[in-house]
Amino acid sequence: MLRLALGLLVVAQQVFINMKIIGHYLHLAITVLLFYIRVKGNIRSHLRFVVINNNANFNQYTMQINKLTTTSVVVFIISMNISAVCFAQSIPEFNFQILTSENVQTIHLNNDTIVELRDVNVTPDYYIHHGRVSYHGQLVSFVAFNNHVYVADQTNQRIYKITHDNRLDRVIGGRGRGPGEFLDLFHLSATENYLFAQDRNQLKTIVFNKRLEVVAELPTGNSGVVAAGQKFTIVPGGFSSDHFFGVIESKPPFAQVGEFLTHVIPAGMQPSGYRFSRAVTNRRGDFLITINGLPYLFLFDNNLNHLQTIKLDGEMIQSRIALNPKPEPVQHVDIHRGGVHNIIGGMYLTETRDILFGIGQTLYRLEFVDGVYRFKNGYQFFASNETQREEDTPLGIFTILLLHESNKICFVSIHLSNLYCFDFE
């Protein structure tokens, strides 16, 4: 009877693995049960043999039991590893050639429909630190998290928790190597439950929970920015990696599950500027990715399946492409042509998959209707109350955030280290 039950469990286990219709924990339970039955069966059979053959050497059979039990432990460990492989999330494999040849839509940009926005709400030029007033430094990134806006100050290596009426609520971090401290605070991203803060100098991303406690530190390369989705978080690889991103789960224990998107240029074959990428996510977990120096926007769903590629075209785009070397491997690097000029700056992806992105001093909006993108409008923003700037000079656009509750669009300017918010429809 014991052998029959063991056989049925083994068959069931293999069927479930092959069909992949059960989760990791059910497979683990079956594996543990097999281990228990085998050990128990070994002990019972050998004790029965000892009782019947009372003249046998008890120590000899005890050694046999120990050997068989050790074998069961080894089988158990191997089965656990097989389980992890069988039920690991499969990350799709994409390269630049595939993404630029499948599901590609070309969008022609023009500046005939530029809308000027001047109603601006600027964050204060100072925050209170240690009881005194000081300049807030260069703001490089910000994100909405837990009903507040969090702003990264790269100069002071701090994160500011800001209310919707621009009041400072809390300061997180500071310069240092301790828990929750930064040496090069570069980018922020967030899921519903966790805030991700990327430190380029320490090659790590610090993860905070809603209480702003440090819960994890993730190894992070310096060839891009972290993008935290509801299911997966993609972290940039190093310049020597074959892939743009590593993929981790967006919840504890933040396990790495694979790599994603092979580089345009093989490692060690310049120009290296094509090895930097930017990525953003929306609340449903979709990803929007762009590669430095290239006129493409790549859209993926929350499982990193490729949905669409948008190729940008127009006179302004072509003039920028002409400044860059060709995106192909070279044997000898010309240092005067090795640099790659960026084309697409800040990006924002809405829950309906509309796309906002900045090129220079203009923000462009693409609407997603019935699976097809169409160019909506271009926008330029002016901070007329800025005494340091000429009134007719539009602001450069870096990180973008759409505040749905207040119907405002906010961004960090390339030119000045302020956070600007405009009424937006």
Q: Are 339 and 271 in contact (CB under 8 A)?
A: yes
* Predicted confidence (pLDDT) per residue in 240-274, tens digit: 788 999 999 999 999 999 999 998 877 656 566 78
* Predicted confidence (pLDDT) per residue in 181-219, tens digit: 999 999 999 999 999 999 999 999 999 999 999 999 999
Percent of the chain with pLDDT over 90: 40
DSSP strand E in 339-418: where?
Answer: 347-349, 355-359, 362-369, 372-381, 400-403, 408-412
* Predicted confidence (pLDDT) per residue in 98-130, tens digit: 999 999 999 999 877 788 887 777 776 555 444
Q: Are 305 and 232 in contact (CB under 8 A)?
A: no
Pairing relationship of beta strands 158-162 and 148-153 according to DSSP bridges: antiparallel
Q: Are 215 and 209 in contact (CB under 8 A)?
A: yes
Q: What is the mean pLDDT of residues 389-413?
A: 75
Q: Are 289 and 236 in contact (CB under 8 A)?
A: no
Highest mean pLDDT among 71-85, 322-336, 381-395: 322-336
- Any idea which of 15-24, 34-43, 312-321, 411-420 has the lowest mean pLDDT? 15-24
- pTM for the predicted model, two decimal places: 0.76
Query: CB under 8 Å to 49, separation ≥6 — which residues?
Result: 56, 61
Write out the DSSP string of 125-175: SEEEETTEEEE---EEEEEEETTEEEEEETTTTEEEEE-TTS-EEEEEE-B
- Give the model's confidence band at 238: pLDDT under 50 very low, under 70 low, under 90 confident, else very high: confident
96-423 folds as Neuraminidase (2.120.10)
Burial (CB count within 10 angstroms: exposed 0-12, middle 13-18, buried 19+), residue 189: buried
DSSP 3-state of 63: helix
Between helix 24-52 and helix 58-87 the angle, nearest 10°, is: 170
- Count helices and strands in the chain by DSSP H and E runs: 5, 28
Nearest to 317 by CA among 359, 277, 274: 359
* Predicted confidence (pLDDT) per residue in 6-19, tens digit: 445 444 444 443 44
* Predicted confidence (pLDDT) per residue in 43-71, tens digit: 444 434 434 444 444 455 445 545 544 55
Cα 424 to Cα 340: distance, rounded to the nearest angstrom? 33
Can you give the pLDDT at residue 14?
42
Check whether 352 has a pLDDT greater than 90. Answer: yes
Looking at this protein, which amino acid is placed at residue 204? K
